[in-house]
């Protein structure tokens, strides 16, 4: 499957297998086309760090794992600057990988943006990525999140935290272990790691630090009525409405965005640390529009696009740019995760988690 016979099975395999059956019947993936007449998103006043020097025009096929508004704004800005039209499939990391699996005999995408670093590591290991070592501003990226050889570039990141309904929770938990106590019985959701790349990052990251004690915690979650509740948005929606009180391993940019819209939400990062989930972009080796794909990566790492990232409540991938509407990387307690362990053990972790919570 996609060249995996010669290496350890990666997180991509399980996600693809789970989702491939339902991919084309699912209504949550969206396809859009960029419009050369659209301007960049609101608040995007910064100028790109360098002028595009490669030929303009043509098209690009992008598979992107949310958020939708950010992807639309990036496409608008990119098309306005380059004249390159973008055809986009929008979906979760699981759905993107499943679509790639379904299309493996006739690949379509030029660039993918995923919500899981181990998934990008797996694409590289499978020989599916095209290195672009000369990408503009790549030297300004967080080195732990991007590939030194230019196979993937994490242009943004989110952190996983405890997201809670402020109308139902006056004193939120301050540790992951608290969610297993009687005070939070039957009121907590957790995203499904076979559907959410960031949830898989959290679970494998936590296990890479805590080993079997991590599985003990997850088993205590199940015993306390924690529910596996679909992908990130599906896990969050019942907390917004008040049907549930908390999302464990909730994606922080969704909480910040919903809070800004007036929803009764807030987030805490447990004191023992959490997992940062980078969002890597990669050019695929099968790309039919390689030069346009390189121009897109350059734009994604530009001042203009990184401002759009910050405006969308995500952590910018470039270390010289900070968000003003959320906690930045230096403000978030972090677990010292082992990304290589996470990449190697994604399949078995997701399978065991699903078996535990089914």
Domain presence at residue 347: no
Domain presence at residue 338: no
Same domain? For 23 and 117 the reply is yes
- Please report the pLDDT score of residue 358 as a whole number: 85
- Please report the pLDDT score of residue 8 as a whole number: 40
Number of domain units in the chain? 2
Domain presence at residue 71: yes
Domain presence at residue 199: yes
Domain presence at residue 349: no
Of 259, 275, 291, the residue that ends a domain is 275
- Please report the pLDDT score of residue 257 as a whole number: 96
**pTM for the full model?**
0.82
Same domain? For 48 and 148 the reply is yes
User: Taking Cα atoms as reference points, which of 69, 65, 71, 105 lies closest to residue 86?
Assistant: 71
- Please report the pLDDT score of residue 19 as a whole number: 38
CB count within 10 Å of CB 32 equals: 16
Same domain? For 168 and 302 the reply is no
**CATH number of the domain that 208 lies in?**
3.40.190.10
Domain presence at residue 59: yes
Domain presence at residue 192: yes
Same domain? For 167 and 137 the reply is no
Same domain? For 142 and 169 the reply is no
- For the chain, which residues score pLDDT lower than 70? 1-56
Rounded to 5 degrees, φ, ψ at 96 are: -65, -45
- Please report the pLDDT score of residue 94 as a whole number: 87
Owning domain of residue 250: 159-275
- Please report the pLDDT score of residue 148 as a whole number: 96
Domain presence at residue 302: yes
Same domain? For 175 and 291 the reply is no
Same domain? For 88 and 211 the reply is no
Same domain? For 141 and 110 the reply is yes
Of 275, 292, 312, the residue that ends a domain is 275
Q: CA torsion 277→167→225→193, rounded to 10°?
A: -20
Same domain? For 163 and 152 the reply is no
- Please report the pLDDT score of residue 30 as a whole number: 52
- Please report the pLDDT score of residue 40 as a whole number: 33
Same domain? For 171 and 187 the reply is yes
Same domain? For 75 and 212 the reply is no
User: Taking Cα atoms as reference points, which of 305, 333, 301, 300 lies closest to residue 159?
Assistant: 333
Same domain? For 236 and 290 the reply is no
Is residue 253 part of an annotated ligand binding site?
Answer: yes
Contact 77, 84 (CB under 8 A): no
Does residue 241 sit in helix, strand or coil?
Answer: helix
- Please report the pLDDT score of residue 57 as a whole number: 73
């Amino acid at each position: 499957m996609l060249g995996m016979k010669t290496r350890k099975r990666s997180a991509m395999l399980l996600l693809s297998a789970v989702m491939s059956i339902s991919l084309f019947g699912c209504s949550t993936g969206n396809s859009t086309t960029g419009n050369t007449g659209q301007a960049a998103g609101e608040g995007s006043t910064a100028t790109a760090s360098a002028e595009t020097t490669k030929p303009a025009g043509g098209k690009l096929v992008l598979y992107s794992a949310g958020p939708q508004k950010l992807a639309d704004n990036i496409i608008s800005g990119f098309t306005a600057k380059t004249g390159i039209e973008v055809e986009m499939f929008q979906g979760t990391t699981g759905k993107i990988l499943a679509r790639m699996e379904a299309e493996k005999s006739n690949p379509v995408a030029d660039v993918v943006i995923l919500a899981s670093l181990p998934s990008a590591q797996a694409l590289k290991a499978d020989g599916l990525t095209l290195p672009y070592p000369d990408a503009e501003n790549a030297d300004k990226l967080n080195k732990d999140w991007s590939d030194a050889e230019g196979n993937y570039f994490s242009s943004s990141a989110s952190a996983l935290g405890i997201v809670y309904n402020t109308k139902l929770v006056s004193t939120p938990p301050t540790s992951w272990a608290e969610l297993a106590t009687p005070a939070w019985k039957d009121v907590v959701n957790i995203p499904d790691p076979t559907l959410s790349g960031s949830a898989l990052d959290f679970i494998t990251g936590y296990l890479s630090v805590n080993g079997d004690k991590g599985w003990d915690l997850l088993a205590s979650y199940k015993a306390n009525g924690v529910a596996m509740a679909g992908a990130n948005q599906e896990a969050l929606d019942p907390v917004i409405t008040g049907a549930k009180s908390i999302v464990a391993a909730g994606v922080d940019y969704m909480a910040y965005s919903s809070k800004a819209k007036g929803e009764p939400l807030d987030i805490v990062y447990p004191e023992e640390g959490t997992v940062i989930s980078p969002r890597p972009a990669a050019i695929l080796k099968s790309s039919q529009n390689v030069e346009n794909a390189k121009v897109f990566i350059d734009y994604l790492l530009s001042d203009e696009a990184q401002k759009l990232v910050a405006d969308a409540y995500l952590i910018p991938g470039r270390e010289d740019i900070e968000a003003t509407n959320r906690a930045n990387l230096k403000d978030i307690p972090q677990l010292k995760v082992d990304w290589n362990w996470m990449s190697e053990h994604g399949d078995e972790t997701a399978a065991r988690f699903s078996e535990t919570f089914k």
